[in-house]
């Protein structure tokens, strides 16, 4: 399938989820996750009008960035090893996987301008998932105030790997609830207005529960 055809189906689904949730589709930004595909295919996505691209490895990001760099806004969405920060920091506008102070410290050290970060939360408590436990998120966010260049624009989560819709929905709901708690504090370094949640299999549920960035790979650029 052409990316354009996939995108038009996804757009329909976004519109219908927004209708269900009484939201405006303009609140939803699509990140095309290009980690499985070629630079050529990523370029096809850009040609449909997509501007946000997401990669989960430093080498994958660098590879595509060399060709497509200034034509997209780059998101780092995967586990980020501290020693890899220097490779990607001046190429990405968003980091979705901030989950420890040592990583915040390194990002802050390597950048010379504010960088938009999501705190990754392990809402479901699954062992295999990276991210902060929900009960530790507020403390973590308070501690991030020490890092001048780090701006907490929102929270990110990955739903558990299951086809049980209620479990998925509850994990997105849990992230929304945490966001409201943080927003109530009105922290200057953590406006937390965004929610990065929803992938190919669960973005409709994520939108119904408040997602503002959805990260879509397979069903958008998969061939
Ligand atoms: C791969 C990946 C996605 C996209 O997954 P699909 O199921 O292919 O849509 C989204 N978020 C993260 C963090 C990923 O690693």
User: Mean of the pLDDT values across residues 193-207?
Assistant: 98
For 165, the 3-state DSSP assignment is helix
Look up the CATH number of domain 3-221: 3.20.20.10
Query: Measured in angstroms, how far is the CA atom of residue 139 from the centroid of ligand 1?
Result: 28
State the pLDDT at residue 128: 67
User: Mean of the pLDDT values across residues 6-27?
Assistant: 98
Pocket of ligand 1 (CB under 6 A): 33, 35, 56, 77-78, 158, 199-201, 215-218
The domain spans of the chain are 3-221
Alpha helices in the chain (DSSP H): 3-21, 39-47, 58-68, 85-88, 101-110, 137-143, 165-184, 203-208, 218-221
Q: Are 184 and 204 in contact (CB under 8 A)?
A: no
> Mean of the per-residue pLDDT values for the chain?
96
Beta bridge partners of 154: 118, 194
Atom of ligand 1 nearest to the CA of 222: 8
State the pLDDT at residue 104: 98
Query: Measured in angstroms, how far is the CA atom of residue 135 from the centroid of ligand 1?
Result: 25
pTM: 0.97
């Amino acid at each position: 399938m052409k990316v354009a055809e996939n995108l038009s189906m996804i757009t329909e689904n976004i519109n219908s989820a927004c209708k269900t949730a009484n939201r405006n589709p303009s609140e939803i930004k699509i990140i095309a996750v290009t980690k499985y595909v070629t630079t050529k295919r990523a370029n096809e996505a850009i040609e449909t009008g997509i501007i946000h691209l997401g990669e989960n490895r430093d080498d994958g990001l660098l590879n595509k960035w060399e060709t497509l760099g200034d034509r997209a806004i780059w998101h780092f969405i995967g586990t980020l090893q501290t020693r890899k920060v220097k490779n990607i920091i001046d190429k990405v506008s968003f980091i979705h996987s901030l989950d420890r102070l040592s990583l915040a410290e390194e990002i802050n050290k390597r950048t010379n301008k504010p960088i938009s970060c999501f705190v990754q939360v392990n809402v479901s408590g699954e062992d295999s998932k990276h991210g902060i436990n929900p009960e530790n998120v507020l403390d973590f966010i308070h501690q991030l105030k020490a890092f001048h260049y780090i701006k907490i624009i929102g929270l990110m989560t990955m739903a558990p790997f299951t086809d049980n819709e209620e479990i998925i929905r509850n994990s997105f709901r849990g992230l929304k609830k945490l966001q409201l708690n943080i927003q109530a504090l009105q922290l200057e370094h953590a406006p937390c207005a965004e929610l990065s949640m929803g992938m190919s299999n669960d973005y409709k549920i994520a939108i119904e529960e408040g997602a503002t960035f959805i990260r879509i790979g397979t069903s958008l650029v998969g061939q």
